[in-house]
Structure 1
Amino acid sequence: MSGEAAPGAAGEGTTRTRLDRGRGALGPALELVHTGRAPTRAVLTAELGVTRATAGAVAAELEALGLIRVDARPGAAAGSQGRPSHRLELAEDGPVALAAQVHADGFRAALVGLGGRIVATAPGRETVDADPAKVLGSVVDAGAELLRETGRRCVGAGLAVPSAVAEPEGTALNPLHLAWPAGAPVRKIFAERVRAAGITGPAFAANDVNLAALAEHRHGAGRGARDLLCVATGHRGVGGALVLDGRLHTGSSGLALEVGHLTVNPEGRPCHCGSRGCLDVEADPLAFLTAAGRDPGPVVSLLQQANDLIRNQFADPIVRTATRALIDRLGQGLAGLVNILNPDRIILGGLHRTLLDADPERLRAVVADRSLWGQSGGVPILACTLDHNSLVGAAELAWQPVLDDPIAALART
Structure 2
Amino acid sequence: MTQTRTTRLERGRGALGPALELVHTGRAPTRAVLTAELGVTRATAGAVAAELEALGLIQVDARPAASAGSQGRPSHRLSIAPNGPVVLAAQIHADGFRAALVGLGGRVIATAPGCMTVPADPSRIIDAVVEAGAGLLRETGRRCLGAGLAVPSAVAEPEGTALNPLHLSWPVGAPVRTLFNEALAKSGVLGPDGTPVTGVTGNDVNLTALAEHRHGAGRGARHLLCVATGHRGVGGALVLDGRLHSGSSGLAMEVGHLTVNPTGQPCHCGSRGCLDVECDPLAFLTAAGREPGPAVSLLQQSRDLLRTEYADPSVRAAADLLIDRLGLGLAGLVNILNPDRVVLGGLHRELLDADPERLRAVVAERSLWGRSGSVPILPCSLEFNSLIGAAEAAWQPVLDDPLAMVG
Normalised by the size of structure 2, how large is the TM-score? 0.96
- Give 2:393's aligned residue: 397
Are the structure 2 counterparts of residues 294 and 147 from structure 1 closer, same or farther at C-alpha, using a change threshold of 3 Å? same
**Structure 2 CA distance for aligned equivalents of residues 72 and 81 of structure 1:** 17
- Give 1:134's aligned residue: 124
> Offset of 1:82 from its aligned partner?
4.7
Alignment-mate amino acid for residue 4 of structure 1: T
**Aligned equivalent of 2:34, options 29, 38, 44:** 44
1:23-62 alignment to 2 at 5 Å?
23-62=13-52
Alignment-mate amino acid for residue 361 of structure 1: E
- Give 1:270's aligned residue: 266
Please say if residues 101 and 391 of structure 1, whose CA atoms lie closer than 8 Å, have aligned partners that are also in contact. yes
In the alignment, structure 1 residue 76 sits paired with structure 2 residue 72: no
In the alignment, structure 1 residue 145 sits paired with structure 2 residue 135: yes
Are the structure 2 counterparts of residues 376 and 50 from structure 1 closer, same or farther at C-alpha, using a change threshold of 3 Å? same
Which residues of structure 1 form unaligned runs of 5+?
A: 6-14
In the alignment, structure 1 residue 351 sits paired with structure 2 residue 342: no
> Offset of 1:374 from its aligned partner?
4.0
Cα deviation, 1:10-66, whole Å, max 9, x if unaligned, reads: xxxxx63x2322221111111000000000111111111111111111111111111
Are the structure 2 counterparts of residues 231 and 340 from structure 1 closer, same or farther at C-alpha, using a change threshold of 3 Å? same
- Give 1:230's aligned residue: 226
- Pairwise CA RMSD: 1.3
**Aligned equivalent of 2:88, options 98, 106, 115:** 98
- Give 1:206's aligned residue: 202
Are the structure 2 counterparts of residues 79 and 344 from structure 1 closer, same or farther at C-alpha, using a change threshold of 3 Å? farther
- Give 1:289's aligned residue: 285
Please say if residues 265 and 329 of structure 1, whose CA atoms lie closer than 8 Å, have aligned partners that are also in contact. yes
> Offset of 1:72 from its aligned partner?
3.0
**Aligned equivalent of 2:158, options 168, 177, 182:** 168
Please say if residues 2 and 19 of structure 1, whose CA atoms lie closer than 8 Å, have aligned partners that are also in contact. no
**Structure 2 CA distance for aligned equivalents of residues 45 and 122 of structure 1:** 39
**Structure 2 CA distance for aligned equivalents of residues 190 and 332 of structure 1:** 37
> Offset of 1:3 from its aligned partner?
5.7
Cα deviation, 1:57-78, whole Å, max 9, x if unaligned, reads: 1111111111111113133344
Residues matched between the structures, number: 401
**Structure 1 CA distance for aligned equivalents of residues 245 and 318 of structure 2:** 33
Matched position secondary structure for 2:374: coil
**Structure 1 CA distance for aligned equivalents of residues 317 and 104 of structure 2:** 42
In the alignment, structure 1 residue 318 sits paired with structure 2 residue 314: yes
Please say if residues 3 and 57 of structure 1, whose CA atoms lie closer than 8 Å, have aligned partners that are also in contact. no
**Structure 2 CA distance for aligned equivalents of residues 127 and 2 of structure 1:** 58
**Structure 2 CA distance for aligned equivalents of residues 65 and 373 of structure 1:** 52
Alignment-mate amino acid for residue 270 of structure 2: G
Please say if residues 347 and 382 of structure 1, whose CA atoms lie closer than 8 Å, have aligned partners that are also in contact. yes
**Aligned equivalent of 1:196, options 186, 196, 218:** 186
> Offset of 1:2 from its aligned partner?
5.2
* Range with bigger deviation, 71-80 or 393-402: 71-80
**Structure 1 CA distance for aligned equivalents of residues 324 and 2 of structure 2:** 59
> Offset of 1:347 from its aligned partner?
0.2
- Give 1:8's aligned residue: none
Matched position secondary structure for 1:109: strand
- Give 2:194's aligned residue: none
Matched position secondary structure for 1:4: helix
- Give 1:112's aligned residue: 102
**Structure 1 CA distance for aligned equivalents of residues 266 and 237 of structure 2:** 24
Alignment-mate amino acid for residue 64 of structure 1: A
**Structure 2 CA distance for aligned equivalents of residues 312 and 2 of structure 1:** 64
Cα deviation, 1:90-134, whole Å, max 9, x if unaligned, reads: 011110000000001111100000000000001231321111000
- Give 1:12's aligned residue: none
**Structure 2 CA distance for aligned equivalents of residues 373 and 61 of structure 1:** 51
Cα deviation, 1:190-247, whole Å, max 9, x if unaligned, reads: 0111112111222100000000000000000000000000000000000000000110
- Give 1:219's aligned residue: 215
**Aligned equivalent of 2:360, options 359, 364, 368:** 364
Normalised by the size of structure 1, how large is the TM-score? 0.95
- Give 2:239's aligned residue: 243
Please say if residues 2 and 57 of structure 1, whose CA atoms lie closer than 8 Å, have aligned partners that are also in contact. no
Are the structure 2 counterparts of residues 377 and 139 from structure 1 closer, same or farther at C-alpha, using a change threshold of 3 Å? closer
Matched position secondary structure for 2:62: coil
> Offset of 1:377 from its aligned partner?
5.8
Please say if residues 338 and 373 of structure 1, whose CA atoms lie closer than 8 Å, have aligned partners that are also in contact. no
- Give 1:63's aligned residue: 53
Please say if residues 110 and 146 of structure 1, whose CA atoms lie closer than 8 Å, have aligned partners that are also in contact. yes
**Structure 1 CA distance for aligned equivalents of residues 306 and 98 of structure 2:** 25
Please say if residues 75 and 85 of structure 1, whose CA atoms lie closer than 8 Å, have aligned partners that are also in contact. no
